[in-house]
Amino acid sequence: MTITGMLPALLTAYDDAGQVSTERTTSLVSALNEAGVDGYFVTGTSGEYYLLSAAERLRILQAVASAAGDRHIVFQVAASDQREVRELARQASEHGATAISASIPIYYGYSDQSLAAYFRDVREASELPLLGYTIPGFTGRVLGTELLASLAADGTLAGLKYTSSDLAILAQLRAATPDSFSLLLGSDDLLVAALSLGADGGIGGTFNLAPRLYVELHRAQQAGDLNEARRLQGLAVAMLGALADGEVYPTLKSAMRVRGMDVGQSRFPMAQHGPADDQRVAAALAGVEGLEEYLIG
């Protein structure tokens, strides 16, 4: 199964008491469905997975599956305890996932051999296809082409979420893997370039806020309308700039709130935004000419 298209890296929705809200989750998924997204990446970095319990993550997955229809649902299963990783992978299918993904372990340094063993262990825990996930800005570790291509060749990895500005590695991976290997970019500001290099789509946090922008960018690229694709990419870059003042996910959640899609605060110790923060974010978004029609809400 090749996963293609635009998949929001779904924000985790909390209620006003800071507990996971299945009601807000399904409302968000329904709105994103209407915008034409192709699937969901659940409990990833944008989903604050590191601040969630395993039980919470499975509740979120089940809520997404109840509202997503026949779209791709990629469940990110990384955790600090490998026993928890395996258990999340094992339960993914029964809770509605169509694929799983795993970022690498963090804090300690690991050799390529250890990381290969890690991915194989995750793969063995589930019958679902496994997408690797490289995000060196958070993990501090670049996964090289040789490691990833070898894991694709032996059937461990069915694809990869690639979150990096180093598109040379992405191009090398495309050349070193079969067309069936799902290569999905996680850097919202580089989609046009990545798609031109053979990426199959994108997974992004700001897809929650401006889903139509990214859906239309992908469609324009597929249709060969590069001028329109580049215009939309420029609009995305401007939006990202408007959101750059402050912590990433609290700011993005403020933006969702001012658009009428309240998904709660980010989980402490991330910043807790009040009305003044929301007003600041609203003003920043209003300053991006031409963005309004693409925003959720």
Q: Per residue in 115-140, is it b (16+ CB within 10 Å) or e — as a string?
A: bbebbbebbebbebbbbbbbbeeebe
What are the φ and ψ backbone dihedral angles of 176, each rounded to 5 degrees? -95, 0
**Parallel/antiparallel/unpaired status of strands 201-204 and 182-185:** parallel
Helices 211-222/22-35 angle, 10° precision: 30
- Tell me the C-alpha distance between 184 and 157, whole Å: 13
**Is 203 labeled as ligand-binding?**
yes
The gap between the terminal CA atoms of the chain, to the nearest Å, is 32
How crowded is residue 260: how many other Cβ atoms within 10 Å of its Cβ?
10
Catalytic residue among 49, 133, 249, 294: 133
**CA dihedral in degrees (255, 162, 29, 224; nearest 10)?**
90
Confirm whether 253 is a catalytic residue. no
* Amino acid making up residue 211: P
Catalytic residue among 161, 162, 214, 253: 161
**Which of 159, 154, 218 minimizes the C-alpha distance to 184?**
159
Active-site residue list? 133, 161
Binding site as annotated, residues for pyruvate: 203
